[in-house]
Amino acid sequence: MSKLTPVVWPKVILFGDSITQYSFQPHGWGAEIANKLARKCDVVNRGLSGYNSRWGRMVLPRLLSQSSAERVAAVTLFFGANDSSLEDKNPQQHVPLQEYCENLKDMGRFLSSAGVPSDRLIFITPPPVDEPAWEKECLLKGCPLNRRHAAAGQYAEACVRAAGQVGADVLDLWTLMQQDGRDFRPFLSDGLHLSQDGNQFLAQQLWRLLEGRVADLPFILPYWGDVDHASPESSLLCDL
């Protein structure tokens, strides 16, 4: 058999903390995006539960090299829910506000240097925090409330600034979930992570930003009805 040209799917890479890692669970926002992009893109989950932007910046070069950045259609950077935890209550995950902003910019610059242009980057801000619900979770774990709604908002503002400074797009989840006086609490499962409604909301908002970036990507390999049944090789083994 003659050497065949490999079929290479473009990639959408989701990089972030637990809200990204959990996004492939049933009804998750990552799974929803992957479903929309079936036969067009591989949606790659690189969520790391508990990570902050400091650790994300350190490991990103291990996850994406210049060679693996080929055919990347988009990258989401979704950190802040851990960075914004209170320093006196959760020093292990807390990252100071200015460092958080610089970490995001450093990751954006690294991706650009690796071959992912800034117009393919989407920063996502941390969501709001339902303090009473999250305090219940903290007490179950034997610790005091370690996140505040207002602090998450400050980190969301810093994320928006960082995106603007590197030329990336941004999905301001903290603001959108509260827009026009909306009650954001149903979007959260435990006060911090996303509920099914929250996952659906994020998927809808993200798709608005992604759709234009992937609209021109072709359907990979022919639709079954277009395969020449008398000579399938002519349809399936040709260069794409």
pLDDT, tens only, 58-81: 999 999 876 677 789 999 999 999
Query: 83-104: per-residue pLDDT in tens?
Result: 999 999 999 999 999 999 999 9
**pLDDT at residue 131, as a whole number:** 98
**pLDDT at residue 238, as a whole number:** 79
The radius of gyration computed from the CA coordinates of the chain, to the nearest angstrom, equals 20
Annotated catalytic residues are 18, 190, 193
Average pLDDT over residues 195-203: 98
In contact, 16 and 79? CB cutoff 8 Å: yes
For residues 97 and 156, what is the distance between their CA atoms, to the nearest angstrom? Answer: 10
Fold observed for domain 11-236: Rossmann fold (3.40.50)
Calculate what percentage of the chain has a pLDDT beyond 90: 82
For residues 188 and 166, what is the distance between their CA atoms, to the nearest angstrom? Answer: 30
Query: 9-28: per-residue pLDDT in tens?
Result: 899 999 999 999 999 999 99
State the pTM of this model. 0.94
**pLDDT at residue 120, as a whole number:** 95
Axis-axis angle for helices 97-113, 149-166 (nearest 10): 30
**pLDDT at residue 67, as a whole number:** 67
Domain segments of the chain as ranges = 11-236
Q: Which DSSP state fits 125?
A: P
In contact, 227 and 235? CB cutoff 8 Å: yes
**pLDDT at residue 2, as a whole number:** 59
